[in-house]
Structure 1
């Protein structure tokens, strides 16, 4: 038997095994590698066509921009949700009693075009996570809910499409808005397919999360929520 030939065959037999091991190592390295903590400027600019920034407010509406910390304090929750449906606008009557001062004013001016109704955009969303529920001690918001916004802000605030994931503050509606939650462009973030966030508003200095991962934003929101609870407890 030719021992040299046998040895050569053995060595050749190892090659496919080594190639396979190298491929496994490369695949593992790719899958286990942590994604970058933030997106570069070029990628952010590309994404803006799908996830627009709203810098202006409607004419004749003067709004004071709330800080992110104030939004965490005042909102019922910050939620991570997936938009499932764009619903038709709904309309509410603003003044129902003509004997009130407001009612008498409306009766006097309605022939000159004074409006007594307001329309609201609305979107059905599936809450994936109530981000601040645990840290705030409030009852969590789960399942399918409807988020709404005054239609006066159409074109000046996000109108998310079905399939989009979003992070937004929400406040529970009352009276004619019972069963709905109001959302705001301030504190509103789009979540990309690869779990980065883009704000729909101009962020506060020191609280800039544009292009950061969803986890970074969530941790900061929970931290601010816990800080608010601690401050409240210390003041009582």
Structure 2
């Protein structure tokens, strides 16, 4: 029995695995590829040069792969790629990339995307991200693994959100958010370390101690960012178990181009 509802419109050039299901009144464009086990709910539009991986669950009323909301976009063949095992709830909009960047909007694996989320052109999302209702990413935003973004939060174009960070409800993000931090508000402020998230992910006591020390160096000792980074690098010598966490933070701070949330 076909898994494509008879009222769905699937272009003959689209490449869908035989196990993909498509709900009533959905529209699938000619340049779309969808891998095994993915389900597309009713009343969805999947268009553009869009590639969707395995075992995703895309609920009803989503717009996936539409052109960017960028006045400079002139029809270039840009792309959207979505990985595996993502849950995408109702009324989300994911746009393709633009030629002003890599030309690809990317969403990784195992992400939990709630209703009314907007992911704009050229955004780069990692894995295990949670985005609550009405969270919005401007163009070119980069989001690391295991980030939680609260509902009604707006993230401006070109911001960088570090791995394992958490952004609280209804926040205005106009600066880069370092890894492991909890931030919220308007103006945005750092509230501390994302201890709940780290413990849920079985970070060891030494790793958490090192991360808390990195927070103190950046935010509690009145240091310049350069001096804080120097102190952070030294932590790897005394806490070798946290060497990867130290490298992640130092690398993020070294590449922060929008200032960091304070």
TM-score (norm 1): 0.25
Which of the two has greater helix per residue?
A: 1
TM-score (norm 2): 0.23
Structure ID, larger Rg = 1
Q: With a CA cutoff of 8 Å and minimum separation of 6, indicate the structure with the bigger relative contact order.
A: 1
